Protein backbone atom coordinates (compact mmCIF):
# COMPACT_ATOMS: atom_id res chain seq x y z
CA UNK A 1 0.00 0.00 0.00
CA UNK A 2 1.53 3.36 -1.01
CA UNK A 3 1.37 6.59 1.00
CA UNK A 4 -1.66 7.80 -0.96
CA UNK A 5 -3.61 4.63 -0.21
CA UNK A 6 -2.82 5.25 3.46
CA UNK A 7 -3.97 8.87 3.16
CA UNK A 8 -7.21 7.99 1.37
CA UNK A 9 -8.31 4.88 3.27
CA UNK A 10 -10.15 6.93 5.91
CA UNK A 11 -13.88 7.47 5.34
CA UNK A 12 -13.21 11.23 5.41
CA UNK A 13 -12.41 12.84 2.05
CA UNK A 14 -8.93 14.27 2.66
CA UNK A 15 -9.38 17.08 0.11
CA UNK A 16 -13.14 17.34 0.52
CA UNK A 17 -15.87 16.52 -1.99
CA UNK A 18 -16.27 19.93 -3.63
CA UNK A 19 -14.35 20.68 -6.85
CA UNK A 20 -11.19 22.75 -6.89
CA UNK A 21 -12.09 26.44 -7.26
CA UNK A 22 -10.02 26.90 -10.45
CA UNK A 23 -11.80 23.96 -12.10
CA UNK A 24 -15.15 25.42 -11.05
CA UNK A 25 -14.24 28.89 -12.38
CA UNK A 26 -12.88 27.65 -15.70
CA UNK A 27 -15.13 24.67 -16.48
CA UNK A 28 -16.60 26.42 -19.53
CA UNK A 29 -13.22 26.20 -21.27
CA UNK A 30 -14.15 22.60 -22.07
CA UNK A 31 -17.31 23.70 -23.88
CA UNK A 32 -19.17 20.69 -25.25
CA UNK A 33 -16.10 18.42 -24.99
CA UNK A 34 -17.28 14.96 -24.10
CA UNK A 35 -14.24 12.90 -23.14
CA UNK A 36 -12.31 14.33 -20.19
CA UNK A 37 -9.49 12.67 -18.26
CA UNK A 38 -8.76 13.67 -14.66
CA UNK A 39 -5.17 12.75 -13.80
CA UNK A 40 -3.78 12.28 -10.26
CA UNK A 41 -7.44 12.69 -9.34
CA UNK A 42 -7.25 11.44 -5.77
CA UNK A 43 -10.72 10.91 -4.33
CA UNK A 44 -12.67 12.14 -7.32
CA UNK A 45 -14.01 15.57 -6.43
CA UNK A 46 -13.17 17.19 -9.80
CA UNK A 47 -14.13 14.14 -11.86
CA UNK A 48 -17.57 13.97 -10.23
CA UNK A 49 -18.10 17.71 -10.74
CA UNK A 50 -17.23 17.42 -14.45
CA UNK A 51 -19.46 14.35 -14.86
CA UNK A 52 -22.33 16.33 -13.32
CA UNK A 53 -21.75 18.94 -16.04
CA UNK A 54 -22.44 16.28 -18.67
CA UNK A 55 -18.90 15.23 -19.59
CA UNK A 56 -17.77 11.63 -20.04
CA UNK A 57 -15.06 11.43 -17.37
CA UNK A 58 -12.28 8.96 -16.60
CA UNK A 59 -10.42 9.42 -13.30
CA UNK A 60 -6.83 8.17 -13.12
CA UNK A 61 -4.92 7.77 -9.89
CA UNK A 62 -2.00 5.90 -8.35
CA UNK A 63 -4.05 4.94 -5.26
CA UNK A 64 -6.73 2.26 -5.45
CA UNK A 65 -8.24 3.66 -2.23
CA UNK A 66 -8.71 7.01 -3.96
CA UNK A 67 -10.40 5.39 -6.95
CA UNK A 68 -12.78 3.49 -4.67
CA UNK A 69 -13.77 6.76 -3.01
CA UNK A 70 -14.17 8.33 -6.46
CA UNK A 71 -16.64 5.59 -7.39
CA UNK A 72 -18.51 6.04 -4.09
CA UNK A 73 -18.69 9.82 -4.53
CA UNK A 74 -19.95 9.44 -8.10
CA UNK A 75 -22.63 7.01 -6.95
CA UNK A 76 -23.73 9.40 -4.17
CA UNK A 77 -24.08 12.20 -6.76
CA UNK A 78 -25.83 9.89 -9.24
CA UNK A 79 -23.23 10.34 -11.98
CA UNK A 80 -20.95 7.96 -13.89
CA UNK A 81 -17.15 8.21 -13.64
CA UNK A 82 -14.82 5.56 -15.03
CA UNK A 83 -11.75 4.86 -12.89
CA UNK A 84 -8.33 3.56 -13.85
CA UNK A 85 -5.29 2.79 -11.71
CA UNK A 86 -2.32 4.53 -13.29
CA UNK A 87 1.20 5.52 -12.26
CA UNK A 88 1.87 8.61 -14.37
CA UNK A 89 5.63 8.20 -14.08
CA UNK A 90 5.96 4.48 -14.81
CA UNK A 91 2.96 3.82 -17.06
CA UNK A 92 2.19 4.92 -20.60
CA UNK A 93 -1.01 6.75 -21.50
CA UNK A 94 -3.09 6.06 -24.55
CA UNK A 95 -2.56 8.86 -27.07
CA UNK A 96 -5.02 11.15 -28.90
CA UNK A 97 -8.06 9.97 -26.93
CA UNK A 98 -9.45 12.83 -24.83
CA UNK A 99 -10.98 16.22 -25.62
CA UNK A 100 -9.88 17.61 -22.27
CA UNK A 101 -7.63 16.82 -19.30
CA UNK A 102 -7.45 18.10 -15.74
CA UNK A 103 -4.72 17.72 -13.14
CA UNK A 104 -5.14 19.45 -9.79
CA UNK A 105 -2.23 19.33 -7.35
CA UNK A 106 -0.56 16.41 -9.11
CA UNK A 107 2.97 16.72 -7.73
CA UNK A 108 6.03 14.81 -8.93
CA UNK A 109 9.79 15.24 -8.59
CA UNK A 110 11.06 18.05 -10.82
CA UNK A 111 13.00 15.53 -12.94
CA UNK A 112 9.69 13.82 -13.86
CA UNK A 113 7.38 16.80 -14.26
CA UNK A 114 7.90 17.56 -17.96
CA UNK A 115 7.58 13.90 -18.92
CA UNK A 116 4.31 13.55 -17.00
CA UNK A 117 2.91 16.74 -18.54
CA UNK A 118 3.97 15.59 -22.02
CA UNK A 119 2.14 12.28 -21.48
CA UNK A 120 -1.00 14.12 -20.40
CA UNK A 121 -1.00 16.40 -23.46
CA UNK A 122 -0.18 13.37 -25.60
CA UNK A 123 -3.41 11.75 -24.39
CA UNK A 124 -5.39 14.67 -25.86
CA UNK A 125 -6.74 14.90 -29.38
CA UNK A 126 -5.45 17.83 -31.47
CA UNK A 127 -7.13 20.97 -30.16
CA UNK A 128 -7.73 19.35 -26.75
CA UNK A 129 -7.58 21.45 -23.59
CA UNK A 130 -5.39 20.77 -20.54
CA UNK A 131 -6.20 22.59 -17.28
CA UNK A 132 -3.92 22.42 -14.24
CA UNK A 133 -3.44 24.01 -10.83
CA UNK A 134 -0.37 23.11 -8.78
CA UNK A 135 1.69 24.59 -5.97
CA UNK A 136 4.59 26.86 -6.90
CA UNK A 137 8.02 26.71 -5.22
CA UNK A 138 7.08 29.62 -2.94
CA UNK A 139 4.31 27.49 -1.37
CA UNK A 140 6.90 26.09 1.06
CA UNK A 141 6.67 29.36 3.03
CA UNK A 142 2.87 29.16 3.31
CA UNK A 143 2.60 25.72 4.96
CA UNK A 144 -1.08 25.40 3.99
CA UNK A 145 -0.85 22.21 1.93
CA UNK A 146 1.19 20.40 -0.66
CA UNK A 147 4.62 18.76 -0.60
CA UNK A 148 7.11 19.81 2.07
CA UNK A 149 10.00 19.23 -0.35
CA UNK A 150 10.73 21.92 -2.96
CA UNK A 151 11.72 19.20 -5.44
CA UNK A 152 8.03 18.24 -5.63
CA UNK A 153 6.75 21.77 -6.26
CA UNK A 154 6.62 23.52 -9.65
CA UNK A 155 8.80 26.42 -10.75
CA UNK A 156 7.04 29.29 -12.52
CA UNK A 157 9.63 29.88 -15.25
CA UNK A 158 10.16 26.15 -15.89
CA UNK A 159 6.41 25.58 -16.28
CA UNK A 160 6.01 28.59 -18.54
CA UNK A 161 8.88 27.31 -20.68
CA UNK A 162 7.20 23.89 -20.94
CA UNK A 163 3.83 25.47 -21.78
CA UNK A 164 5.28 27.58 -24.62
CA UNK A 165 5.22 24.60 -27.00
CA UNK A 166 1.41 24.68 -26.81
CA UNK A 167 -1.18 27.42 -27.26
CA UNK A 168 -1.40 29.09 -23.85
CA UNK A 169 -4.96 30.15 -23.01
CA UNK A 170 -4.22 31.03 -19.37
CA UNK A 171 -1.06 31.18 -17.27
CA UNK A 172 -0.85 32.71 -13.81
CA UNK A 173 1.30 32.50 -10.70
CA UNK A 174 -1.02 33.80 -7.99
CA UNK A 175 -1.82 33.80 -4.32
CA UNK A 176 -5.20 32.20 -3.66
CA UNK A 177 -7.29 30.96 -0.77
CA UNK A 178 -7.77 27.19 -0.91
CA UNK A 179 -9.96 25.41 1.64
CA UNK A 180 -10.21 21.82 0.43
CA UNK A 181 -10.90 19.28 3.15
CA UNK A 182 -8.15 18.89 5.71
CA UNK A 183 -5.44 18.63 3.07
CA UNK A 184 -5.39 22.23 1.82
CA UNK A 185 -6.30 25.04 4.12
CA UNK A 186 -5.49 28.71 3.68
CA UNK A 187 -3.53 31.16 1.60
CA UNK A 188 -1.47 29.41 -1.07
CA UNK A 189 0.89 30.17 -3.95
CA UNK A 190 -0.26 28.34 -7.05
CA UNK A 191 0.44 28.08 -10.74
CA UNK A 192 -2.62 27.96 -12.98
CA UNK A 193 -2.34 26.78 -16.54
CA UNK A 194 -4.70 26.16 -19.44
CA UNK A 195 -3.16 25.09 -22.74
CA UNK A 196 -4.59 23.92 -26.04
CA UNK A 197 -2.82 21.12 -27.90
CA UNK A 198 -1.73 22.36 -31.31
CA UNK A 199 -3.50 20.93 -34.34
Is the pLDDT score of 107 beyond 60? yes
pTM metric for this prediction: 0.95
* Overall number of domains in the chain: 1
Q: What is the pLDDT of residues 6-39, one digit of tens each?
A: 766 777 888 889 999 999 999 999 998 799 999 9
Angle between helices 64-76 and 45-52 (to 10 degrees): 30
Q: Which domain holds residue 152?
A: 3-196
CATH of the domain at 99: 3.40.50.150
Query: Rounded to an integer, what distance in angstroms lies between the CA atom of residue 54 and that of residue 79?
Result: 9
Query: Rounded to an integer, what distance in angstroms lies between the CA atom of residue 197 and that of residue 143?
Result: 34
Is the pLDDT score of 135 beyond 90? yes
pLDDT of residue 114: 97
Across the chain, mean pLDDT equals: 94
pLDDT of residue 111: 97
Mean per-residue pLDDT, 120-144: 97
Amino acid sequence: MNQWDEKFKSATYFYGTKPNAFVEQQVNVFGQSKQIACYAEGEGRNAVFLAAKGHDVTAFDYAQEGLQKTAALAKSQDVQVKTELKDLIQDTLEENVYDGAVMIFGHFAKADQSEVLDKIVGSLKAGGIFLMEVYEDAQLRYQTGGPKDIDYLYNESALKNWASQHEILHFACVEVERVEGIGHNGRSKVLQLIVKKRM
